[in-house]
Amino acid sequence: MSRTSAAQNAVVELLRVSPVADDLAARFAAAGHRLYLVGGSVRDALLGRLHAGDLDFTTDARPQEIMRLVKPWGDAVWDTGIAFGTVGASKGGAVCEITTFRADAYDRVSRNPEVRFGDTVEADLVRRDFTVNAMAVDLTTRRFIDPHDGMGALEAGVLDTPATPQESFADDPLRMLRAARFASQLGLTPAPRVVEAMAAMSAEIERITPERVQAELSKLLCGAHPRAGVELLVDTGLAAHVLPEVPAMRLEIDEHHQHKDVYEHSLVVLEQAIDLEGGTGPDLVLRLAALLHDIGKPDTRKHVDGGGVSFHHHEVVGAKLVRKRLRALRYAKDVVEDVATLVFLHLRFHGYGKGEWTDSAVRRYVTDAGELLPRLHKLVRADCTTRNRRKAAALQRTYDGLEERIARLAAEEDLARVRPDLDGNEIMRLLGLPPGPQVGKAWRFLKELRLDRGPMEHDEAVAALREWAAEQGLGDAALAVDQGEAHDADQVDPARGEDQPG
């Protein structure tokens, strides 16, 4: 297919999938303005992956005029970006962003431009991040506009900048992370001059806020080819500024001596974890855990007799490092804790194959993982990267056995809801205690007992509680309850109580 035919097909596809674009263009044309579909919308139409729900437009109309034209048309309209020339609107389920032609100047200190409006679409396109995003469709004339050969770049699978990459990245260093993100999402290979500029200017990323870095990193990891994006970050030195624990793993030899280094091993684990996701779509928590599961190894490496290397407790150190890094990147608290928990637990399975796990150990494995158990299964399986097929098959069979054992115990004991056999209210009644820390200690004792022994009869649990209470010096309280006497609540400070399940 010729480029002309491809461009015409892209225009047809854009208007077929996005009828609101035609409708909106007619309003602008009636007011004497041109409206263009631009950027990712055009790129994705050429790639055959356009989604009608998110459309970007540019126009010669100034912001207040855009607002005047859009307000009576949209189902909802917002002006949060109007200072930068952008008005947002939703119509028929499509979200539209309409921006006045831009001809910005940057101070090269922050990434905030001095907003200047332009007069031509060509001048607007040259200031965009990459040539594949610098194409437009004139919705009035149906003309395809591609002054920087973005279509050719798409055909060649190359990521390049309309201006020089040095100018582009100096204006907005976030574009370097976007290059890695597009390598992951679209499978594009950055042009040599782009890679050189990223390596030379990697420190400029320090100008970008953690929130923006996190957003790009998450999109990169959830792309179709995250390994390519991570490798680009590491090879250009950007990772040393945004995720330094990852390049630090390049120097650490894997303890099984089956891989070039822990960094390479982690990339393989990431790919294998993605293969195990199934059809549920990208799982950011699982992918972060796969990439970062061994970041504790550099800090725990020790050389042992015979030339070997050990990484004792690297999962403990790794969980701490995960929390520190992901908090610095402003990830949500639940994401931080979920990834840290998976990193902390990922190594526990390796003691199972020796036949030493009791039912109690299996219960603890399930209880400690909680709702993360399905992800932990995938992470542990992905962590097997040995090239020895026999060993790999044996590990997978062993984990199959563990999952079968978990399923059996779950059916017998409802492992998803492992709780003490007596609740907090009954503990207080039996021991004559008001709400307070002693009730919490008793509750935790009974939970540990439940994990060790499995479900107990009510009388057995009561007897165990009374025995524990006597050892803790609470025997008189239990006796007082038996005799119907009131317990002296002044012995416990209720203000220091803990919330206990009722």
Q: Do 480 and 358 fall into the same domain?
A: no
Shared domain for 384 and 474, answered yes or no, is no
CATH code for the domain in which residue 121 is found: 3.30.460.10
Residue 427, pLDDT > 90, answer no
Residue 480 is predicted with a pLDDT of 46
| pLDDT surpassing 50 at residue 496 | no
User: What is the structure's pLDDT at 485?
Assistant: 37
297 within some domain: yes
Calpha distance 268→254 (Å, rounded) = 13
Same domain, 17 and 148: yes
- Residue closest to 238 by CA, chosen among 183, 267, 199: 199
Other C-beta atoms lying within 10 Å of the C-beta of residue 80: 9
Among 435, 413, 419, 420, smallest CA distance to 468 is for: 420
The model's pLDDT over 360-418, given as tens digits with 9 standing for 90+, comes to 788 878 888 889 999 999 999 999 887 778 888 888 888 888 888 888 877 765 555 55
pLDDT band at 466 (very low <50, low <70, confident <90, very high): confident
Residue 296 is part of which domain span? 285-418
Nearest to 271 by CA among 397, 393, 385: 385
Contact 96, 25 (CB under 8 A): no
Instruction: Give a three-class secondary structure readout of 196-241.
Output: HHHHHCHHHHHHCCHHHHHHHHHHHHCCCCHHHHHHHHHHHCCHHH
Q: Is 54 helix (H, G, I), strand (E, B) or coil?
A: strand
* Gap between the Cα atoms of 181 and 300, Å rounded: 31
Highest mean pLDDT among 42-51, 304-313, 314-323, 473-482: 314-323
Does the pLDDT of residue 446 top 90, yes or no? no
Domain final position from 141, 156, 171: 156
Residues 299, 384, single domain; the answer is yes
Cβ atoms of residues 329 and 210 within 8 Å? yes
| Final residue before a domain boundary, out of 398, 418, 438 | 418
At 443 the pLDDT is: 77
Count of the separate structural domains present in the chain = 3
User: What pLDDT, on the 0 to 100 scale, is given for residue 502?
Assistant: 39
Same domain (yes/no): 445, 386: no
Same structural domain for residues 409 and 443?
A: no
Distance CA 338, CA 344 (A): 10
Higher pLDDT, 267 or 487: 267
What tokens does 162 get? 């309309």
Give domain status of residue 67, yes or no.
yes
More confident residue, 308 or 287: 287
Averaged confidence pLDDT in the chain: 83
Grade residue 325 by pLDDT with cuts at 50, 70 and 90.
Answer: very high
DSSP state string for 89-113: EEETTEEEEEEE-B--EE-SSSS-E
Q: Answer yes or no: do 450 and 409 share one domain.
A: no
Residues 43 and 107 occupy one common structural domain: yes
- Among 106, 126, 156, the domain-final residue is 156
Q: Assess if residue 465 is contained within a domain.
A: yes
Question: Residue 499: its pLDDT value, please?
Answer: 40
Residues 433, 410 share a domain: no
Q: What is the pTM of this model?
A: 0.78
User: Are 26 and 109 within one domain?
Assistant: yes
* Residues 318 and 364 placed together within one structural domain of the fold: yes
Whose tokens are 């044309």? That residue is 29
